[in-house]
C-alpha cells in the first residue's frame, strides 16, 4: 500500500511501498495534485517509502516531467538509498537527485 498525504506548506509525503501494484493506485492522486496546485513549487518527501522498484522510479520521473510541463518545480527530498541505487543502475540518478532537477 502507498499513500500521499499533505505535510503542510507545499510539502507532501509519500509513504509505503512503490511497486507495480501500488503505483497505479497512487499515480492518479499525484497527477491530480500536480495538475490542480496553484503553487509554483511542491516538495515531495519520500522518507516514509519502505520499498520501491522500477515502477516507483518511473512514477517519480513522470511526476518530475509532469511538473515541468505545468511550470511547477517539484523537489524530491528524503530519497531512500534503494531508489538512489536503482536510479544509478538505470543511469538516471541525476533525474531523482534531491531537490529540483
Q: Count the domains in the chain.
A: 1
CATH number at residue 41: 3.30.750.24
Q: Which pLDDT tens digit goes with each residue over 55-89?
A: 999 999 999 999 999 999 999 999 998 888 888 88
Residue 51 lies in a domain: yes
Domain ranges, residue 24: 2-96
Q: DSSP letters along 25-91, please?
A: HHHHHHHHHHHH---SEEEEEEEEEEEE-HHHHHHHHHHHHHHHHTT-EEEEES--HHHHHHHHHTT
Residue 101 lies in a domain: no
Residue 52 lies in a domain: yes
Average pLDDT value for residue range 13-34: 96
Residue 89 lies in a domain: yes
Amino acid at each position: 500500500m502507498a499513500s500521499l498525504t499533505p505535510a503542510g506548506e507545499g510539502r507532501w509525503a509519500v509513504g509505503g511501498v512503490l511497486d507495480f501494484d501500488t503505483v497505479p493506485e497512487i499515480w492518479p492522486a499525484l497527477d491530480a495534485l500536480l495538475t490542480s496546485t496553484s503553487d509554483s513549487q511542491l516538495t515531495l518527501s519520500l522518507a516514509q517509502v519502505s520499498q520501491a522498484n522500477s515502477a516507483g522510479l518511473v512514477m517519480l520521473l513522470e511526476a518530475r516531467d509532469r511538473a515541468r510541463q505545468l511550470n511547477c518545480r517539484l523537489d524530491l527530498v528524503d530519497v531512500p538509498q534503494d531508489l538512489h541505487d536503482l536510479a544509478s543502475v538505470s543511469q538516471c540518478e541525476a533525474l531523482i537527485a534531491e531537490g529540483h532537477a
